Structure 1
Amino acid sequence: MTRPFVKRDTFLPFSRPTIRQVEIDEVVDTLRSGWITTGPKAERFEKDFAAYVGAPEALALSSATGGLHIGLIALGVKPGDEVIITPMTWAATSNMVEALGGTSVFVEIDPDTLQVDPEAVAAAVTDRTVGIIPVHFGGAPCDVDPLLEIARRHSLWIFEDAAHGVGTLYKGKHVGLFDRLAVFSFHPIKNMTTGEGGMLTLSDPEMARKLRALRFHGLEKQAWNRYAEGGTPQVEIVLPGFKYNFMDIQAALGIHQLASVDEFNARRRELAMIYHELFAEVPEIARPGIPSYDHFHTWHLYVIRVLDAAGISRDNFMAALRQRNVGTGLHFRAVHTQPYYAQKYPQVPGTLPKAEWACGRHQGRAGPRERLIMDRPYLSIVVPVYNEEENLPELLDRLEKTLAAMERPYEIVLVNDGSRDGSLRLLREASARDPHLVVVDFNRNYGQHAAVFAGFEVSRGEVVVTLDADLQNPPEEIPKLVAKMEEGFDVVGSIRVHRQDTLLRRVASKIVNRMTALATGVQLTDYGCMLRAYRRPVVEVLAASREISTFIPVLADLFAGRVTEIPVAHSERAHGESKYSLWKLFRLQFDLMTSFSVLPLRVTMAVGVAMAIVSILVALILIAGRLIYGQEWAVSGVFTLFSLLFFFLGVQLFAIGLLGEYVGRIYQQVRDRPRYIIRQVIRGGAPTEGMTAP
């Protein structure tokens, strides 16, 4: 269903805190009380929050960032310590590790839910790892149980970043209660707010005592107690602390916000489900995944991903919504791609493709590795796939290694040409794992060149490279073609050296090459090698071409300005049999002769003229023989006459058939039927609707 854009009369901000009269009255009461900094209302708010989440201890702070800072100090983080962190968070999570001299170890996420991947956490543990900071992202909990098992096995602590998690439950238990520490945020965009502020929850009273001192200059005794009736003004600094105390003015908001947070969360859930239902009708948008484990989601954020099929970048999509008075927010750019982290840990960008895809498509200048997550790929690899189940795992592995080493943004478009084996299943699974993969699924088999045309239609790269899936075209040769393209060529073909085919196939291929050159006038050395590179303008012309014939090497040569060929390696087919039999080669040659040339018609016409001349000469000879030798001589040539007649008749029938072939092609062109039907395009393991192509 298509819904028109409607511009709102007023601007709808991304976030607007709910402040009611009860909060205003409480703030005014605090101002009039004479005590506006940390005092009895802050203490009341701490007790209320501890009771709400079920924590033995709760410490309010001026910000969640301050809570992360002193929490990591209390946990003993020191220079050289490694802390495992999800990159899908605000930078404060890792900034505090860095501020203490620790090492941030970023790990992969679940691309659907955007939560940290426990398997990636387990794989990242080293002898220097001291702890894990998981983020309960967007109002949903991460999968805590596997993380607890990892922490137990390796004697690590867990510091929950529950900045999004007030009211969030994991298996019936409020987040923030599973290990040593947790921190919550009350920033204005959160589900409840105190203007600014945060809260630490924990169960260890001795650690709580230390944290209270760290929170306020290293003092054990709170200021309002010192100045209260019976108090002593004497201060004692027990350790070097900070100024992260939480004011009563903030608590005046928090007391009533906390009392209503369940109501706020219920409304958020209601709105999120409306979004979820409406976005289900928009295949160009990826909705936020909902975890399968037992949980209660408070929907702090409703995070969508703008898919490539939308034909618009994320940033332009946000700008278009803003023009229609709808505000949005960006949550988040993966922390490891931020300049500081990309410079300190240059080996990390490009190694977390799921996180980079989820947050990618940002605009602006970037380094070579960071460009891996930019809007449009530089390089598209188009691979037709027909019953290649055995070859696909190795092909994808070699492609990924080759393309990653090139440090160019890329995509791999795999076209399933009606495979009857498990190829589609493997492609779907690979697409779910790797955001670089796009799977085009035909409703039946249409042939190799139709599959390449479909790949052209879906591809977005500036340079498009085609190759077979049977591994006879080594993926490691791709950089050679791209390097040659960058010399200014429009098309770069390839010449297979040391071919690993049978003698019969090599001979047949040479014959086809020579016949193709004769028929089309296009002088290429190796028409049959699929490993070729095309520049985007040529690809767009090919994709828009409405010719029935789809022999791409010849069409590309007709449309391109500069064409060249380079020698490439050729490998033996790893598994299975070639999809091109000798009969198919003959059919291909016949199609080429009748699609790209009128030479057969001219040859037939020349034969017809020659036959007419021969017929006249034969007739004259027969007449002369009869006049000279009599009637008996003419009778003796009756069999010759019939032989000539049948020969001429055969040639005429062939000519009529050839003419009919041309007429038939014109008829097919006039009918304008689609070359193929795409059943679905799969990105990230999720299909979109299909399409047809001219």
Structure 2
Amino acid sequence: MPIDSHPRTAPSPIADEAIPDISVVIPVYHERENLHDLVARVGEALEATRWSFELICVDDGSRDGSQQILAELAADRPWLRPVALARNYGQSTALQAGFERARGRYIVTLDGDLQNDPLDIPAMIERLETDPSVDMISGWRHQRQDKALSRRLPSVLANRLISWATDVRLHDYGCALKAYRREIIERIHLYGELHRFIPSLAREVGARIEEMPVRHHARTRGQSKYGIDRTFRVILDLVLIVFFLRYRQRPLHAFGGLGLWLLTPGLLILLYLFAVKLSGEDIGARPLLMVGVMAVLMGAQLIVAGLTGELLIRVYHEGSGRPQYHTRDLPEPAASGRHA
């Protein structure tokens, strides 16, 4: 089976294959030592269930032979669909490539380092199947096996910071094991490093999220790609996601609000200095004059930036045809409320 290496915006229909119930999407980067066990464990976990499935392993430009191993494993596993990216784009892009090819009613993500346990997948899917009020299940590694402080400390800091800033309260944002209804994934688009904020993005498009404790295993092969520097990148990405969630539809409120906070005191300072000048005093050498001028200029620039953002948002929605809102099906009426 050839590895899919051609980008496309949607999966091509396959007439002779039934649409699976579950699509498992796993980004892979330099995990050749884990691939055999990874594929085997996913197969063992899902072949014993009543659901049909596919496994989409997205190789994110590995140079350790992972692509060759995936091609060999797919040769006798029709449910394994490898994807090879042309270079290393990052985890968000790899996930998006998998999402665009996923065909299942439910979509599951997990890491390729064998620290997530595929045996937890059936319980997640069962929860989605039996409770229509839940759209996404987020894994919670309540008994983490990571001993290194360089992994545990950034995770704790990031979880608290993201929960506070986005108001989506989760114990474990960093757990890659998550399950979604397909319609939720179709509403979001990942780029940069937004994979860390998928629960926040899902909530923004209307998903109802539930957390589920899952198993966690220590890494036994390969090397971790995370470190303490990830905390600083999370902070920068958090600025973007907070702006996206709160002000995407109204950028003037963000830029214009800050602009007014600068413009108003700047104008008051200049009015005060103007009155001082009228009284005959020299104001040319006063530092306060520079403060007032800079505050007015910066405030005016921010307000103009907000107006420009409003125009861009209008062009974005009207030009692309993207909806400003999403709807959901109404619940079935109670039996007692139906008319005979």
Q: Tell me, yes or no, whether TM beats 0.5.
A: yes
Question: Does the 8 Å contact 1:491/1:533 carry over to 2?
Answer: yes
Question: Does the 8 Å contact 2:23/2:56 carry over to 1?
Answer: yes
Letter in 1 for 2:136: V
Provide the residue aligned with 1:639 in structure 2: 287
Q: Which structure has greater strand proportion?
A: 1
* 2:174 matches 1:535: no
Aligned mates of 1:387, 1:619 — CA distance in 2: 61
1:514 equivalent among 164, 175, 187: 164
> Aligned pair in 2 of structure 1 residues 463, 671: CA closer, same or farther (>3 Å)?
same
| CA offset digits 1:78-123 (Å, max 9, x no partner) | xxxxxxxxxxxxxxxxxxxxxxxxxxxxxxxxxx9xxxxxxxxxxx
Question: Does the 8 Å contact 2:267/2:292 carry over to 1?
Answer: no
Question: Does the 8 Å contact 1:465/1:534 carry over to 2?
Answer: yes
Aligned mates of 2:270, 2:311 — CA distance in 1: 34
* 2:260 matches 1:613: no
The RMSD of aligned alpha carbons is: 4.0
Shift of 1:666: 8.4
Provide the residue aligned with 1:434 in structure 2: 77
Aligned mates of 2:115, 2:304 — CA distance in 1: 41
Aligned mates of 1:473, 1:547 — CA distance in 2: 22
Shift of 1:662: 8.0
SS of alignment partner, residue 605 of structure 1:
helix
> Aligned pair in 2 of structure 1 residues 471, 640: CA closer, same or farther (>3 Å)?
farther
| CA offset digits 1:177-204 (Å, max 9, x no partner) | xxxxxxxxxxxxxxxxxxxxxxxxxxxx
Aligned mates of 1:485, 1:611 — CA distance in 2: 49
1:403 equivalent among 29, 40, 46: 46
Question: Does the 8 Å contact 1:462/1:536 carry over to 2?
Answer: yes
Letter in 2 for 1:425: Q
Aligned mates of 1:384, 1:659 — CA distance in 2: 39
* 2:15 matches 1:312: yes
Aligned mates of 1:624, 1:309 — CA distance in 2: 72
Count matched residues.
Answer: 296
Question: Does the 8 Å contact 1:412/1:437 carry over to 2?
Answer: yes
Letter in 2 for 1:576: Q
Aligned mates of 1:612, 1:310 — CA distance in 2: 56
- List aligned pairs for 1:75-114, cutoff 5 A: none
* 2:217 matches 1:604: no
1:567 equivalent among 189, 209, 213: 213
> Aligned pair in 2 of structure 1 residues 658, 444: CA closer, same or farther (>3 Å)?
farther
Provide the residue aligned with 2:223 in structure 1: 576
> Aligned pair in 2 of structure 1 residues 448, 434: CA closer, same or farther (>3 Å)?
same
- List aligned pairs for 1:153-552, cutoff 5 A: 311-313=14-16, 375-406=18-49, 408-488=51-131, 489-499=134-144, 500=146, 501-517=151-167, 523-525=168-170, 526-539=172-185, 541-542=186-187, 552=198
> Aligned pair in 2 of structure 1 residues 389, 594: CA closer, same or farther (>3 Å)?
farther
Provide the residue aligned with 1:622 in structure 2: 273
Letter in 1 for 2:138: G
Letter in 2 for 1:553: P
Aligned mates of 2:140, 2:310 — CA distance in 1: 32
Aligned mates of 2:30, 2:311 — CA distance in 1: 35
Aligned mates of 1:408, 1:394 — CA distance in 2: 21
* 2:238 matches 1:589: yes
Which structure 1 segments of 5+ residues have no match? 1-111, 113-282, 284-307, 314-360, 362-374, 518-522, 673-694
Aligned mates of 1:651, 1:582 — CA distance in 2: 31
Aligned mates of 1:573, 1:666 — CA distance in 2: 48
SS of alignment partner, residue 622 of structure 1:
helix
SS of alignment partner, residue 81 of structure 2:
strand
Runs of 4+ in 1 over 6 A off after TM superposition: 545-550, 654-672
Aligned mates of 2:158, 2:281 — CA distance in 1: 52
> Aligned pair in 2 of structure 1 residues 646, 524: CA closer, same or farther (>3 Å)?
same
TM-score scaled by structure 2?
Answer: 0.69
Compare 652-661 and 401-410 and name the one that shifted more.
Answer: 652-661
Letter in 1 for 2:86: N
Letter in 2 for 1:442: L
> Aligned pair in 2 of structure 1 residues 593, 653: CA closer, same or farther (>3 Å)?
farther
Shift of 1:437: 1.1
Question: Does the 8 Å contact 1:491/1:562 carry over to 2?
Answer: yes
SS of alignment partner, residue 486 of structure 1:
helix
Provide the residue aligned with 2:325 in structure 1: none
Shift of 1:439: 0.4
Letter in 2 for 1:487: T
| Structure of larger gyration radius | 1
Question: Does the 8 Å contact 1:494/1:566 carry over to 2?
Answer: yes
TM-score scaled by structure 1?
Answer: 0.37
